[in-house]
Amino acid sequence: MRTTLTLDPDVARLLEAEVHRARKPLKQVVNAALRRGLTGTRPPAKPYRAPVHEARLQPGLDRFRLNALVDELEDEAVLGRVSGRR
């Protein structure tokens, strides 16, 4: 079906940007955008997968007292600034 549309300047810029980004013809971009807008559906997103990193604590560190360790390090930093040491 052929139809003539008059697009607002901002919509035309968005379409041109999408044509450039997707490297697809204007017809495909317009049809896909209208289809998404009229049906309210989006293509499924690819699941995000983060690489697994196995971390181990240094010997002598208690994982249940990490907050206390942070507090002690912060206190030392504050005292060092107050006394002029860094």
- pLDDT tens by residue, 12-30: 999 999 999 999 999 999 9
72 φ, ψ to 5°?
A: -65, -45
The tally of CA atoms less than 13 A away on the side-chain side of residue 17 is 6
CB of 29 closer than 8 Å to CB of 15 = yes
76: helix, strand or coil: helix
How confident is the model over 28-50, as pLDDT tens digits?
Answer: 999 999 988 898 877 788 898 99
Taking the domains of the chain in order of start, what are their residue ranges?
9-39
pTM, to two decimals:
0.47
| Residues 42 and 36: beta-carbon distance below 8 Å | yes
